[in-house]
C-alpha cells in the first residue's frame, strides 16, 4: 500500500534573506541573472543551505502502455513503447544523448509495458500489468493497481543516489491519459487539453478528442487518486509516487513536460508541499501542458516547442540549473573583487 509521505515545506524567511543577500553581493547588477537567481534561491531553500549543490543527478524513464492507444489515440502503434524502451537501453534515444551530455544517471522503469523484457542492467522491472485498460470502458486501472504503481515510483526513487531527480516517460497514448486527467482535475473542456501528441493530423486529432469525450463521460471521479486510477497510466501513477517521495527526501525535482506535469498535479493534490521541490524546466507544445502550468503557477525555464517526452525538456534545461548554482557558488563579490557599487 502507498501512504502519502510527509514533506517539509521549504519556506524559511531568514535563510531566504541570507540567500538573497549572497546573490546581491555578487559582481553583477541586482537581479541581472533573472530566473537563474530565482532557481538558485529556491534550491538553497530545498537544501537548507547557502551553498546548494547538485550531486549525482538521476533520470528515470517511466514506461507503460495504454488501453486507449489500441483504440487509435496515438499516431504510433503501441509496439513503439517497447521498441523505444529497447532503443533507450541501447543508448540511442534523445534522452540517452542528453543524459550522456550532462553526466546524468539513467535507468528505465517498466511500470506496465505490454511486452516482456529480458533483464538489462539499466532496466528496473516493476511491471504491474501489460498496459492499462481503455478508460472509455472501465477504469484504466484498479485502485489497488494505482496504489501499487504509486508505491513502485516511491520505492524506485528511494533506491536512487544523489539529490536531483528527473522523471521522463515513454508510453504510446499517454498524452491522451494526461489530457483526460487535466480536463477532469482542472474542470476544463477536453478539447482545450488535447493536442496532437506524437503527431496526429487534423482527422486524427478529431478522433482522439471524440474518444476522450467518451472516456470522460464514463467516469464521475473528481478526487485526485480516483482520477488517476480512472484515466491515468501505470507510468503516470508511478511518477506521482516518485515525485512525492523525492520531495520527502528533499531532492530537487526537474519537471519535464505535459505527462510529467499531470502526474505532478495529482501529487500536489495529495501533498501540496511537493511543489516546493519542483523546478519547471520546459513548456511543451501540447495545449494541456499550458493549462497545467497555469494551474500550478509555474513558469518553466525553456520554451522551445519540444514535445518528445522522455524527460528531454528537463534534460535540455539541466545545465541552466547547474549554471544557477555555479554562479551562486563561484562568482566574486563586489568586495572581494574590489568593484564599485551602484551610485544611482
Question: What is the smallest separation between the CB atom of 134 and a second copy, expressed in angstroms?
Answer: 17
| Grid cell for residue 319 | 545545465
- 50 is an interface residue for a second copy by CB under 8 A: no
Closer by beta carbon to a second copy, 109 or else 316: 316
- 116 is an interface residue for a second copy by CB under 8 A: no
Q: Which stretch binds a second copy (CB under 8 A): 12-20, 27-35, 142-150, 266-274?
A: 27-35
Q: What are the CA-CA distances from residue 96 to residues 74, 91, 109, 239, 315 (Å)?
A: 23, 5, 14, 19, 10
Q: Rounded to whole angstroms, how far apart are CA atoms 325 and 153? A: 28
Site string for a second copy, 278-297 (x = CB under 8 A): -------x------------
Closer by beta carbon to a second copy, 92 or else 272: 92
| Binding residue (CB under 8 A) for a second copy from 92, 103, 189, 272 | 92
Q: Provide the 10 A C-beta neighbour count for residue 107.
A: 18
Q: Rounded to whole angstroms, how far apart are CA atoms 315 and 57? A: 10
- 331 is an interface residue for a second copy by CB under 8 A: yes
Total number of residues that touch a second copy (CB under 8 A): 66
Q: Which stretch binds a second copy (CB under 8 A): 8-16, 85-93, 178-186, 260-268?
A: 85-93
Closer by beta carbon to a second copy, 121 or else 305: 305
132 half-sphere exposure, CB direction, 13 A CA radius: 39
- 25 is an interface residue for a second copy by CB under 8 A: no
169 catalytic per annotation: no
| Binding residue (CB under 8 A) for a second copy from 3, 49, 77, 223 | 77
Residues noted as catalytic? 310
Q: Binding residues for a second copy, per CB under 8 A? A: 26-36, 72, 74-77, 79-80, 83-84, 86-87, 90, 92-94, 96-98, 100-102, 198-201, 204, 285, 301-308, 312, 316, 319-320, 322-323, 326-327, 330-332, 336-344
Amino acid at each position: 500500500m502507498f501512504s502519502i509521505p510527509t514533506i517539509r515545506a521549504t519556506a524559511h524567511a531568514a535563510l531566504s534573506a541570507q540567500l538573497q543577500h549572497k546573490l546581491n553581493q555578487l559582481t553583477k547588477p541586482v537581479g541581472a541573472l533573472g530566473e537563474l537567481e530565482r532557481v538558485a534561491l529556491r534550491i538553497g531553500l530545498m537544501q537548507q543551505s547557502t551553498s546548494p549543490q547538485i550531486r549525482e543527478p538521476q533520470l528515470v524513464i517511466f514506461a507503460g502502455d495504454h488501453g486507449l492507444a489500441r483504440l487509435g489515440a496515438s499516431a504510433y502503434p503501441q509496439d513503439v513503447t517497447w521498441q523505444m524502451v529497447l532503443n533507450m537501453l541501447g543508448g540511442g534515444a534523445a534522452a540517452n544523448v542528453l543524459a550522456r551530455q550532462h553526466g546524468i544517471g539513467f535507468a528505465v522503469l517498466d511500470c506496465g509495458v505490454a511486452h516482456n523484457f529480458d533483464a538489462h542492467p539499466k532496466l528496473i522491472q516493476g511491471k504491474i500489468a501489460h498496459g492499462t485498460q481503455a478508460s472509455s470502458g472501465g477504469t484504466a486501472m484498479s485502485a489497488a493497481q494505482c496504489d501499487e504503481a504509486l508505491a513502485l515510483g516511491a520505492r524506485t526513487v528511494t533506491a536512487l543516489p544523489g539529490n536531483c531527480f528527473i522523471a521522463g516517460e515513454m508510453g504510446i497514448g499517454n498524452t491522451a491519459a494526461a489530457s483526460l486527467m487535466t480536463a477532469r482535475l482542472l474542470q476544463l473542456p477536453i478539447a482545450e487539453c488535447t493536442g496532437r501528441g506524437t503527431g496526429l493530423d487534423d482527422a486524427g486529432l478529431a478522433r482522439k478528442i471524440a474518444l476522450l469525450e467518451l472516456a470522460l463521460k464514463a467516469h464521475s471521479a473528481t478526487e485526485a487518486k480516483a482520477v488517476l486510477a480512472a484515466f491515468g497510466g501505470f507510468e503516470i501513477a508511478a511518477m506521482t509516487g516518485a515525485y512525492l517521495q523525492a520531495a520527502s527526501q528533499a531532492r530537487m525535482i526537474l519537471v519535464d513536460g505535459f505527462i510529467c506535469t499531470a502526474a505532478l498535479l495529482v501529487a500536489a493534490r495529495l501533498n501540496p508541499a511537493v511543489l516546493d521541490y519542483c523546478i519547471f524546466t520546459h513548456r511543451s507544445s501540447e495545449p494541456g501542458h499550458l493549462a497545467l502550468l497555469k494551474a500550478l503557477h509555474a513558469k518553466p525555464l525553456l520554451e522551445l516547442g519540444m514535445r518528445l517526452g522522455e524527460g528531454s525538456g528537463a534534460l535540455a534545461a539541466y545545465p541552466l540549473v547547474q549554471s544557477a548554482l555555479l554562479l551562486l557558488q563561484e562568482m566574486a563579490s563586489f568586495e572581494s573583487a574590489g568593484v564599485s557599487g551602484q551610485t544611482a
